[in-house]
Structure 1
């Protein structure tokens, strides 16, 4: 059995087996999501499910990988962001405090020299970041951490989209021979898939910030790890395109709130999943449609690894054009 398959299976079964126990723990410590006017669900829900994903991931990595300095950095940073998420799920941290926790987790990677130091020029050569390396790395990690968090609005949505993105990264890592990246990402994907048994509509537990921030953080960290080890910026581009749906949704939310004079971090009901529900779709229909879009973006990300700079630019331009056109059609930029 290939090691990445083993990592996926171990994580899947660990997450699947532990989620019911995590659910009991969530009720015990008060990590509960109560409905309000903006949220879709109606009853009180436990929201510590990300702990099961984390445990599945850690067990799989420990069973399938050599604990090198880099792997230890990923585990340590993931643990820091997990702790921030658990505290937030129980006590609802202020945004600034949560941001400080995300910066601390990102700083772990920098301290272990897992950072973005240069970028490929598609037409030849490199862009060296030099003194911008550390702030760019921290910005990259925080951005991924929050886009997955903001996507977590319907049963199974964030988990499914992140799972599709993870599988995309695995395929490209195997294709390019980045096997450590494939194994680590397989462990993450397995943990997500195991948890999906309880999170798909109708969900019995939410991943909470514990899960959404951990998944976003790990995808960011894995992409940087891949870029460092493979000496190829494609390791950064692939997960960014695979997560194109939540990234663009977040970008539209920022533009929408800014143009309407609202605080950028103030929640609203203008996200893509809200608009799909307003159009008459059920939760399952909306989630499945967004899975399909994410899968198409994943395929586009894989294609990018096979083409040259000009063709890559054309693919990216087509993706952005299609997303902007679709956003205008469903009114995602409108004030809601």
Structure 2
């Protein structure tokens, strides 16, 4: 996989996302698929009410079309590529159903937590059994060392936890214009580079296609956002990102590259535990990006800082890998 091929994959995915955005966003607006804003959220967000959501359809369409096209042309349409697409689409469908129930059927709670969890588990198990059709190692690698841990039959439980955990982590992080679109494009690009280093060109192709698709979506999602990705997009991205780390056998590397999502999730867990045990809140609001909002940071400043953290977290493992 050459540099030219990589740049072409990113560019085509970007263009397809941009074109789909020009078509889908007006359609969502005409159909009045607008975002509802929680009353308990930051008051500054109330002006975002009515902004079209379910915009994940834009980059999901771009990723599917571009991945299949390039994988076919360059003969890298493998079982691993198919598994990545299944996870992406499977988690995307779960998110779409949740968005549809909230936005279209006007049921504020959407899918229940149990319904989401069952759907996510089904997708994760399907991915596991597809992988087991070929030579798949049930080990996890400790980053920056030569050590691995053999999980054996327990790997399926780990895979479920990993995919469900990170899909929800990315979902929790999707609260500011451009935050997840920017951090995810960085994270997928980082895994694309790692895939090239390990010679896994099929996975690299997928990762770089997602990078391009997210940059195309960011054109419409950066502040002031013309569209939100909704659960349709955030659950799909989180699941696919976790699956990437599994396929290159660098699962725990995601804890570094996805540090923004880890911290966002931890802030929610800490807030809930603190309030239930002491009656006090550690943060002004969780996830932590809302804490910074209520502390006086502008939305744009928070997003830029989080992008910067995501970039540093992505580049450091690559530097350590090639040194």
Bin of the TM-score, shorter chain as denominator length: 0.7 to 0.9
1:103-161 CA distance string (max 9 Å, x none): 12212211202676112356655321012110001111111111110000100011111
CA contact (8 A) 1:6 1:64 kept: no
Structure 2 contact 167–239 (Cα < 8 Å) conserved = yes
> Residues of 2 paired with 1:116 and 1:276: CA distance?
42
Q: Does 1:113 align with 2:131?
A: yes
**Are 1:170 and 2:192 counterparts?**
yes
Kept after mapping to 2: 8 A contact 1:117/1:130? yes
Indicate yes or no: 2:59 matched with 1:71.
no
Alignment match, 2:244:
222
Query: What is the SS of the residue equivalent to 1:2?
Result: helix
Corresponding residue number in structure 2 for 1:93 = 111
Q: 2:207 aligns with which of 155, 170, 185?
A: 185
Give SS of 1:305's match. Answer: helix
Aligned mate of 2:290, from 274, 286, 302: 274
- Superposition TM-score, scaled by structure 1 size: 0.81
Structure 2 residue 18 is matched with structure 1 residue 16: yes
Query: How many positions carry a matched residue from both structures?
Result: 295
Normalised to the residue count of structure 2, the TM-score between the two structures is 0.84
Gaps of 5+ in 1: 228-234, 263-267, 308-336
Taking the TM superposition and a 5 Å limit, the aligned residue runs for 1:1-336 are 2-27=4-29, 31-37=33-39, 38=41, 40-42=45-47, 43-65=49-71, 66-91=76-101, 92-113=110-131, 117-120=138-141, 124-227=146-249, 235-261=250-276, 269-306=285-322
Structure 2 unaligned spans of 5+ = 102-109, 278-283
Distance (whole Å) between structure 2 residues aligned to residue 186 and residue 87 of structure 1? 27
> Residues 14, 156 of structure 1: CA spacing in aligned structure 2 closer, same or farther, 3 A cutoff?
same
Secondary structure, aligned partner of 1:202: coil
Give the aligned CA root-mean-square deviation in angstroms: 2.1
